[in-house]
Each structure stands twice: as C-alpha cells, then as structure tokens.
Amino acid sequence: MILGLIIENVSGENYYDYIKEKILKPANMLETSEIQVDSIVKNKASGYTTGFGQNTNLKRNDYYLTKASPAGFYYSTIEDLFKFSKALRNHKLLGKEITDLMLEPKVKGYNTYLGYAIDIDNRYNQTIIGHSGGWYGIHCELMDFMDDHYTVVILSNIDDGGNNGASKVADFFKILIADKKKEK
C-alpha cells in the first residue's frame, strides 16, 4: 500500500492510471484490470474458499475481496500473466540493469530467496523466478524456468492451503522441468 502511495506522490498520477500506462499497456496486458469484486464480467471466475485448507465445504469468497490495490487483487488471465513475464524479462518494463537488480536474491524467505517483488527459487537444477499469490478463493503461480526458457502460469479459483490443488500442480512442473539430472 505504501508503494502505491509513493508511486502516486512521485508520478503525480492516480495509481491505477500509472499501472495501466507503465505496465499493462507496454506489456500488452489487455485483459488485466482492477475491477470491483462484484463486477459482472464475461468469463470471470468466482472464487471459492476452503479457508486455506481448513474446511472441506467451499464458500464463495465475495466477502473477502475488494477492488485491486497496490497490495493485489487485480484480475488477469494466463495469457496476460505470460505477457507480463515476457515483457519483464525482455526489458520492456524496466532497463536491463534495474531488471537484473530486481531478480537478484536479497532476502532468504521460507523456501526461496526474495528479490524486489520476485521469488528466486534455487532448490532445483535451475533457477526459477516468479511470484505466487493467493487469498480466500484464489491462487496464482507464475514461474519462469530460466535455463529452459519455459514459463508456467497457474490460476485457480480455490485456495488450497499450499498442500494440494494449484500448489501441487506448481510442484509437479518444478520437478518435471527443473529437477532433471544435469547432463555430463
């Protein structure tokens, strides 16, 4: 939230307009938006929550979401998140020097290192960069396999507590793509 206020103060622009002009348009992310949670949008999935795996009965997450903010909640598509990843890695959003700084491990997280807004995972036979996100009834994984040049985007409208669902799919791809033995 503070970063959003800094962006508004430094740029003199509304946060949402700034994001549209500086990120969404250059990355050609035409389907990504900060819509209100109760907006009716064609092909928008409703989220269902398990309370992060605590309950077996699913509940709609309408009461847990709000309009997007600097803290999250943008609505997007697999294609748009792929375009974002490609635009970031091809320096369409930031110059090479700043992008490299962003992707450099800074702080040790639970399983990975954190760069600036990017996870750097060195637990496998290649570096995986990306970001995951989730809330009640939503889960997203964006993973770039740096050596093999694969990008995997996973979107789910059910939170899973990190042990099944989208988390298991993400783990499957990490092992499939990045856990292969190094050739001699």
Model confidence over 42-96: pLDDT tens digits? 888 888 888 877 888 888 877 666 677 777 778 899 999 999 999 999 999 999 9
Q: What is the mean pLDDT of residues 108-123?
A: 90
Helix spans in 107-153 (H): none
139 Cβ neighbours under 8 A, 6+ residues apart:
132, 133, 154, 155, 156, 158, 159, 160, 165, 166, 167
Question: What's the confidence (pLDDT) of residue 107?
Answer: 93
Using pLDDT thresholds of 50, 70 and 90, give the confidence band for residue 13.
very high
| 181: pLDDT strictly greater than 80 | no
Contact 88, 100 (CB under 8 A): no
Classify domain 52-64+76-178 by CATH architecture: 3-Layer(aba) Sandwich (3.40)
33 DSSP 8-state letter: B
Instruction: Please report where in the chains the tokens 């970001």 appear, as a residue.
Output: 131
Task: State pLDDT tens for residues 15-48.
Answer: 999 999 999 999 999 999 887 767 777 888 888 8
